[in-house]
Amino acid sequence: MLKRLFKNNRGFTLIEMMIVLLVISVLILIAIPNVTKRAESIDDTGCNALVKMVEGQVQAYRLEMRKNPASAAELVAADFLEDDGDSLTCSDGRQVAVNNGEVTLSQP
């Protein structure tokens, strides 16, 4: 009986495989534009998070040193920020600057 069950199974036909590939292609065509649209939103969210982090470090500096930092370099010198070259640059190229305790974001 078990031998008879396996004897009648022939696998997928070419038409069935083409239908599966068509469905997969349609799903990919739907998914790719959504991913590219979200990239700008992800960049904005990351940049806003960087600004908030720098603002938090400015406040920590203010509490510990009892004065406003004049620049980002002053925060780096006091070990409130890391100095890795591009630490205050967003992924879209905008720069985060610190001027007398005020954190600003440059326009692209």
Nearest alpha-carbon partner for 107 in 8, 98, 92, 99: 92
Whether 24 and 64 have beta carbons less than 8 Å apart is answered as no
Per-residue pLDDT band for 12 (boundaries 50, 70, 90) equals confident
Cβ-proximal residues to 83 (8 Å cutoff; 6+ apart), any chain: 76
Out of 5-14, 56-65, 78-87, which region has the weakest mean confidence (pLDDT)? Answer: 5-14
d(CA 51, CA 94) in angstroms, rounded, equals 11
Rounded to whole angstroms, the Cα distance separating 57 from 75 reads: 8
pLDDT tens-digit profile of 92-106?
A: 888 898 999 899 988
Per-residue pLDDT reduced to its tens digit, 14-66: 898 999 999 999 999 988 887 777 877 888 888 999 999 999 999 999 999 99
φ/ψ region of 66 (left if φ > 0, alpha if ψ in -120 to 50, else beta) reads left
Per-domain residue ranges for the chain?
Answer: 43-108
Please give the model's pTM, rounded to 2 decimal places: 0.65
The SS3 of residue 66 is coil
